[in-house]
Structure 1
Amino acid sequence: MSFLRELAPDGIDRILDYFDANGVFRSVVMDGRLCFRHTPARFPPEVWNMHEATKLSEARTNNACESWNNGFKHLVGHANPSLWNVTK
């Protein structure tokens, strides 16, 4: 992470902090030295990795409702319709 921080453009500190906090390796300072410790990932690859789905020609999105929501929005003519508009 320190190498990435050296190369990164200004303004992306929050992104780097996110990956540092949620990644498998987290940087810590011990005895004045920057060290890395292996920790379990907060979001394991099984949750977000689409490699197997791609190999099996399955859907590569984890949002299966997106198409339905989009179709419903067009059907009722509004993104957040009231119950009254839906029943009309």
Structure 2
Amino acid sequence: TRLGLKTLYSENENFAQQIRSLPALGFLPAADVIPTFDEIKDQFPVEGEPVLKYFEENYIGVKSRLSRPRKSPKFDISLWNVNENTIQRKHRTNNAVEGWNNRFSSLMNCNHPNFWKFLKGLKKEQSFVEAQVIQAEAGVRQTRNREQIRREIRILNIINEPTTTNFQKVMALAQILSLKRS
């Protein structure tokens, strides 16, 4: 919102897809990210230049004026690339850790509990985990949202499509990705 792009993003689907194409790069093999980024950059809308510049500086690395390689980005591609995890159907995020942290924080009901409150919270957490273990041993599977399953299948189909270019894959992924609103 600081860049004044929120309205354009919400009202112009083509612009929104271009913005979403940047995080979609993370689904490509790491070696294909930079060449595909360069293709995106060539077609990126002028209004989105601040976003593109931010992404390039932090996640791709800026080209130097000479023919030298790009400067190292703040976050190396290997840190945010999810291609292998997606293909192997592994977790792509640390949402499980974040979920646990949120649940544990709500158990504590405060940011800095005293020792006794902390100990009581740990006991509650242990009971919860033991119940989950019993359910898992009994063969109870946690259900996944059908829409999430369909989305994962679509992502895998796009990634594994041999006849499309990486640019086409990224643009297809950008159609099904959503960015959290803040």
Q: Which has the higher contact order (CA 8 A, sep 6+)?
A: 2
Could you tell me whether the CA contact under 8 Å between 1:25 and 1:36 is conserved in 2?
no
Give RMSD over aligned pairs: 3.2
Structure with the largest fraction of strand: 1
State the 1:60 CA deviation.
Answer: 1.0
TM-score, normalization by structure 1? 0.56
Matches within 5 A, 1:37-76: 38-39=69-70, 41-42=72-73, 43-62=75-94, 65-76=97-108
Counterpart of 1:71, as a letter, is R
Q: How many pairs align? A: 76
Q: Secondary structure at the match of 2:92?
A: coil
Higher mean Cα deviation, 49-58 or 62-71? 62-71
When residues 49 and 20 of structure 1 are mapped into structure 2, their CA distance, relative to the original with a 3 A threshold, is closer
TM-score, normalization by structure 2? 0.32
Structure with the largest fraction of helix: 2
When residues 38 and 63 of structure 1 are mapped into structure 2, their CA distance, relative to the original with a 3 A threshold, is farther
The sequence identity of aligned pairs, in percent, is 32
State the 1:49 CA deviation.
Answer: 0.8
Aligned mates of 1:18, 1:46 — CA distance in 2: 18
